[in-house]
Chains A and B, each alone.
Chain A
Amino acid sequence: MADGYVVRVSGPVVVAEGLEEPKMYDVVKVGELGLVGEIIRIQGSKATVQVYEDTTGVRPGDKVVNTKQALSVELGPGLLSSIYDGVQRPLSVLREESGDFIARGISIAPLDEKKKWEFQAQKKDGEEVVEGEVIGIVQETPLITHRIMVPIGLRGKLKGLRSGEYTIRDPIGSIATPQGEVELFLATKWRVRTPRPILRKLPPDSPLLTGQRVLDTFFPVAKGGTAAIPGPFGSGKTVTQQQLAKWADSNVIVYVGCGERGNEMTEVLATFPELEDPKSKRPLMERTILVANTSNMPVAAREASIYTGITMAEYYRDMGYDVALMADSTSRWAEALREISGRLEEMPGEEGYPAYLGRRLAEFYERAGKVVVVSPDKRVGSVTVVGAVSPPGGDFSEPVSQNTLRVTRVFWALDASLASRRHFPSINWLTSYSLYVDTLSTWYSKNVADEFPALRKEALEVLQKEAELQDIVQLVGYDALPEAEKGLLDLARMIREDYLQQNAFDEVDTYTSIHKQYVMLRTILAFGRRTAEAIRRGAQATQLSSLPVKSKISRLKWTPEAEVDRLVEEIEREMGEQIEGVVREAVAQ
């Protein structure tokens, strides 16, 4: 067999000649070290390859071998609680093989090939099965049951399927298809750049609850929806993403650290195993897959990392789970595209990004959704995608932000000026939006409280009004305002400080159940209504704003879930008494 050879090398881009049957997106191995790369352009006998590892030392004449396979990930038990690089090499094994620094040219099986899994067959010999059908289960972690499905494209009679202990390399049985017998394994492969097929998409109708008040109450994302978090550096993108990864009520979380900081990934690695799932009290790591391609790791692997992540997410979706994928940050991914495009000497579009940036982003977000998966029992699963965007200089008019906003339905606008006054999460309540609010209001009315959508609207109106009043205050000063409007400003301040602000690093405040959110919001707004009423009856806003009950209201967020209802009762009682007291005094004067 004829190997190809290198004719040109420039950074991560290598041009090879003489490859056997090069096809687009075939994986090739470059040089003596066998650096992994992917064919991204073919011109006559020359193939251009983007290499996923550092190419220092590669020279013209080095051999290039075509594996004739597209870039794929291996899907099977053992994915959960793993941490991979952008091309699905497990970093823990990589450490054992090459030490603390990542060496080049190492290929490692993504899944543990020696570990034995307890497989329970759920189908019998001779049964007819079709693609996507569950034939058995493996308890992958105490949190997640891994459903073993008939690979896409196969149908036929089962043969020799037995429960028992298997590694991912042992055949668990076989299937007699019209084309012949095919062995079945616990693990399968899938090409990362091809979305896994589905039967149809469903409209997303339940929220992805995150325990973050500003998100759940004001700007919810639906399960199967898409959200973008753009924000300048230091505005809290990563903390928000990590809070989502910790507390979102999906079954499986895929966290893609794409071109981000090494120490941040370490933080995730250090904290996730210690954190407990609020419901099951199991370590969160048992439902999490991490893909870490830090900024100093090869740029082409960064390009691949989000596809690696979403393919794994789709696989768990196909089992019927709700999966959430966090990509931090898609801007780094876009920059990888730009870098490679530049090396290919392609005609640049806006700001040097390739002309296909928008299409690629749209294709990626389109892989999200609540879907009926390919299966005879019409299982439903979902993939929610939350992408962080890092606009240069915090300017949202740049191409990555703009192309992302075109395809995502929730926009969480991070605001540097909020962050600099330590208002966290620094999500701007005036510019953010969620297009799911209307479709989800039925869910909120049914599952939280009838009045919840109305409360949400009321609170947003107060904040909106506050923004208008602030402009006036800038001109005439606070003291010149009428009493009613002073009262409204006080209420808005309470909503901002006692409700919207949430401390990710406080044991209690880091997560707020939707019930507690409702109770808190109801209490604050009730206080607002009562003080407004009191002002109409002659009370002064300044007197009302220094009532002792206010400090109890602000303590709500630090109060554990179990004690909230009791404290609220107390507040409601005192609120009435204290406000009445102020009114009596005012009337007496």
Chain B
Amino acid sequence: MIPLTYKTIRQVAGPLLFVEGVNDAAYGEIVEITNALGERVRGQVLESGKGLAVVQVFGSTLGLDVNSSSVRFLGETARVGVSDEMLGRVFDGLGNPRDGGAPIVAKEKFDIVGSAINPYSREEPSEFIQTGISAIDGMNTLVRGQKLPLFSGAGLPHNVLAAQIARQAKVLGASEEFAVVFAAMGITSEEANFFMREFEETGALERSVLFLNLSSDPSMERVLTPRLALTTAEFFAYEKEMHVLVILTDMTNYCEALREISAARDEVPGRRGYPGYMYTDLATIYERAGKIRGRKGSITQMPILTMPADDKTHPIPDLTGYITEGQVYLSRELERAGIYPPIDVLESLSRLMNQGIGRGKTREDHRGLADQLYAAYAQGKDVRALSAIVGVEALSENDRRYLRAAERFEKMFVAQGVYEDRTIEQTLEIGWEVLAELPDSELKKIRPEYIQKYRKKASGG
């Protein structure tokens, strides 16, 4: 089909163009818009009817007018060319080179929306990924093919943590090829530089593909950036049989872009002005993590989002939590106490943990130990709140034990260095040391035979 050009823009409203006289624009079709100054931007058809197409513009609407600007319908839906040459390169939010290198010559082009994985084709994620971070490995284990977001807040060290995970993550006893796909939506250039420097210094850059949409870049691009990144990741995972870790940051900016489009279209808003279909939309991103039976590669996702006002019930973390397989929750309280990484394990969760741990994977006592640590820490925190009212003296001996256990848990188990890479054995041993505060009779969540076998009698108990 020959691409048709229209000069019948009737209205420009926010990121939307209303083009008249178009009779057969396909839903989702990509258009190229030339503004009065001769500059070109891309857009996509959001709604198509007889005589009218609504186009969402990716990029700036600066210089667009109704008289001389033109819209060319390209007759194809959004596709991206990918190839192995992309490793080690940096692109902008639309996939154009940002590092001054040559454009990518791709043999194949892929639809960026991607079809849903048939649930029947999925393989249950079960390979333990050792991140070297105790609060994750011990308490909220990450497995290959999982999507585990970081719930963070403004000013918390989520970037440092994400970089540490990208640096240290490995599957024990395996030496398969792996890659990192990094997609940034609306982050500052400082943050972007931090990640680039991290990747360069540790030599991770040559195994990485970076898509950077900075705060100064057009916000509408952000709707495409994660999809480009995931299409690239799928290419490396399923065509090149690599294990891909996808880091998406910051999903909050992505959702704001969605809201902007929705508002411009006068849609009925859902909670806090976010569109009613945000759950479905986010699902089409997050659900692209996984493993497929009979294929070697995998996609593990670690989206990062900053919770507005640290509010977990805000629609963005809320809907994300309903789709992803758990969350790693960063706490301002721990951050203030000087603990890095400030992971609040009580608010965190890994839904696929059970598949990745236990005998033959980590260690047989892992589940019980983690449950006991959870319970002990939760109780210890309750006691801490109580002692603030009644004073430590009024606590029973048992309560004081829990108080000490909670202290040790935060200081020894959760806290560690930015460059400290703990093995799973080290993590579990520290866990047992924390429990040394408690007598055997309090350890109800661990099978007695494991208590016998692993408990350090020497250090107390």
* B-binding residues in A (CB < 8 A): 7-11, 15, 54-61, 83, 91-92, 94-95, 98-104, 232-234, 238, 257, 259, 261-267, 269-270, 292, 294-297, 299, 332, 335-336, 338-339, 342, 345, 348, 351-352, 390, 392-395, 419-423, 473-480, 497-498, 505, 546, 550-551, 554-555, 558
Q: Does B276 reach chain A (CB closer than 8 Å)?
A: yes
Chain A residues with CB under 8 Å of B279's CB are: 259, 295, 332, 335
- Closest CB of chain B to A489's CB: distance in Å? 11
**Interface segment, one of B9-17, B172-180, B262-270, B406-414:** B262-270
| With A233-B321, A478-B399 as contacts: A335 and B276 at CB distance below 8 Å | yes
Whether the pair B27, A56 counts as a contact (CB closer than 8 A) is: yes
Whether the pair B267, A558 counts as a contact (CB closer than 8 A) is: no
Q: Does B160 reach chain A (CB closer than 8 Å)?
A: no
Q: How many contacts A-B (CB < 8 Å)?
A: 226
Q: Does B43 reach chain A (CB closer than 8 Å)?
A: no
Q: Does B98 reach chain A (CB closer than 8 Å)?
A: no
| With A335-B276, A339-B280 as contacts: A60 and B445 at CB distance below 8 Å | no
Query: What mask results when residues 372 to 406 of chain B are scored 1 for a CB within 8 Å of chain A, else 0?
Result: 00110011000000100110001110010000000
Q: Does B188 reach chain A (CB closer than 8 Å)?
A: no
Whether the pair A546, B441 counts as a contact (CB closer than 8 A) is: yes
Whether the pair A54, B124 counts as a contact (CB closer than 8 A) is: no
B121, B312, B386, most chain A CB atoms within 10 A: B121
The one of A59, A91, A478 that contacts B27, using a Cβ cutoff of 8 Å: A59
Q: Which secondary structure dominates chain B's binding surface?
A: mixed
Whether the pair B124, A57 counts as a contact (CB closer than 8 A) is: no
Chain A residues with CB under 8 Å of B312's CB are: 393
- A-B pairs with beta carbons under 8 Å apart, 25 shown: A54-B115, A55-B28, A56-B27, A57-B77, A60-B50, A99-B118, A102-B115, A102-B116, A261-B287, A263-B122, A263-B124, A263-B145, A269-B119, A295-B279, A296-B284, A299-B280, A335-B276, A336-B280, A420-B378, A421-B374, A421-B378, A422-B375, A474-B386, A479-B394, A480-B394
**Interface segment, one of B18-26, B32-40, B89-97, B250-258:** B18-26
Chain B residues with CB under 8 Å of A99's CB are: 118, 121
Q: Give Cα A342–Cα B26 distance, bound, in whole angstroms.
A: 21
Q: Give Cα A247–Cα B203 distance, bound, in whole angstroms.
A: 51
Whether the pair A421, B26 counts as a contact (CB closer than 8 A) is: no
Chain B residues with CB under 8 Å of A395's CB are: 313
Closest to B315 in A: A392
Chain A residues with CB under 8 Å of B371's CB are: 422
Q: Give Cα A92–Cα B314 distance, bound, in whole angstroms.
A: 38
Closest to A348 in B: B268
Whether the pair A292, B374 counts as a contact (CB closer than 8 A) is: no
B276, B277, B323, most chain A CB atoms within 10 A: B276
Whether the pair B352, A422 counts as a contact (CB closer than 8 A) is: no
Whether the pair B269, A352 counts as a contact (CB closer than 8 A) is: yes
Whether the pair A299, B118 counts as a contact (CB closer than 8 A) is: no
Whether the pair B325, A261 counts as a contact (CB closer than 8 A) is: yes
The one of A15, A233, A295, A420 that contacts B283, using a Cβ cutoff of 8 Å: A295
- Closest CB of chain A to B148's CB: distance in Å? 11
Query: What mask results when residues 313 to 329 of chain B are scored 1 for a CB within 8 Å of chain A, else 0?
Result: 11100110111011100
Whether the pair A262, B287 counts as a contact (CB closer than 8 A) is: yes
Q: Give Cα A57–Cα B78 distance, bound, in whole angstroms.
A: 10
The one of A100, A264, A270, A342 that contacts B121, using a Cβ cutoff of 8 Å: A100
Q: Does B461 reach chain A (CB closer than 8 Å)?
A: no
Closest to A335 in B: B279
Q: Give Cα A392–Cα B378 distance, bound, in whole angstroms.
A: 24
* A-binding residues in B (CB < 8 A): 23-29, 46-50, 77, 113-125, 145-146, 238, 267-271, 275-277, 279-280, 283-284, 286-288, 290, 292-293, 295, 312-315, 318-319, 321-323, 325-327, 346-347, 349, 351-352, 354-355, 367, 371, 374-375, 378-379, 386, 389-390, 394-396, 399, 441, 444-445, 447-448
| With A102-B116, A267-B124 as contacts: A335 and B280 at CB distance below 8 Å | yes
Chain A residues with CB under 8 Å of B319's CB are: 392
Closest to B355 in A: A267
Whether the pair A8, B118 counts as a contact (CB closer than 8 A) is: no
Q: Give Cα A341–Cα B31 distance, bound, in whole angstroms.
A: 28
**8 interchain residue pairs of minimum CB distance:** A393-B313, A295-B283, A421-B378, A8-B49, A56-B28, A296-B287, A91-B120, A101-B115
Whether the pair B346, A421 counts as a contact (CB closer than 8 A) is: yes
Chain B residues with CB under 8 Å of A264's CB are: 325, 351
Q: Give Cα A160–Cα B314 distance, bound, in whole angstroms.
A: 65
| With A269-B120, A296-B284, A421-B374 as contacts: A475 and B389 at CB distance below 8 Å | yes
Q: Give Cα A395–Cα B115 distance, bound, in whole angstroms.
A: 33
Q: Give Cα A296–Cα B389 distance, bound, in whole angstroms.
A: 49
Whether the pair A339, B277 counts as a contact (CB closer than 8 A) is: yes
Q: Give Cα A420–Cα B395 distance, bound, in whole angstroms.
A: 23
Q: Give Cα A91–Cα B122 distance, bound, in whole angstroms.
A: 11
The one of A8, A100, A101, A270 that contacts B124, using a Cβ cutoff of 8 Å: A270
A238, A294, A423, most chain B CB atoms within 10 A: A294
The one of B49, B325, B347, B354 that contacts A9, using a Cβ cutoff of 8 Å: B49
Closest to B448 in A: A555
| With A56-B77, A102-B116 as contacts: A233 and B49 at CB distance below 8 Å | no
- Closest CB of chain A to B347's CB: distance in Å? 6
Chain A residues with CB under 8 Å of B447's CB are: 558
Q: Give Cα A419–Cα B378 distance, bound, in whole angstroms.
A: 10
- Closest CB of chain A to B307's CB: distance in Å? 11
- Closest CB of chain B to A268's CB: distance in Å? 9
Chain B residues with CB under 8 Å of A296's CB are: 116-117, 280, 283-284, 286-288
Chain B residues with CB under 8 Å of A338's CB are: 270, 276
Chain B residues with CB under 8 Å of A59's CB are: 24-27, 29, 48
Whether the pair B115, A103 counts as a contact (CB closer than 8 A) is: yes
- Closest CB of chain A to B231's CB: distance in Å? 12
Q: Give Cα A232–Cα B347 distance, bound, in whole angstroms.
A: 12
Chain A residues with CB under 8 Å of B280's CB are: 259, 295-296, 299, 335-336, 339
Whether the pair B321, A477 counts as a contact (CB closer than 8 A) is: no
Closest to B294 in A: A100
Whether the pair A392, B318 counts as a contact (CB closer than 8 A) is: yes
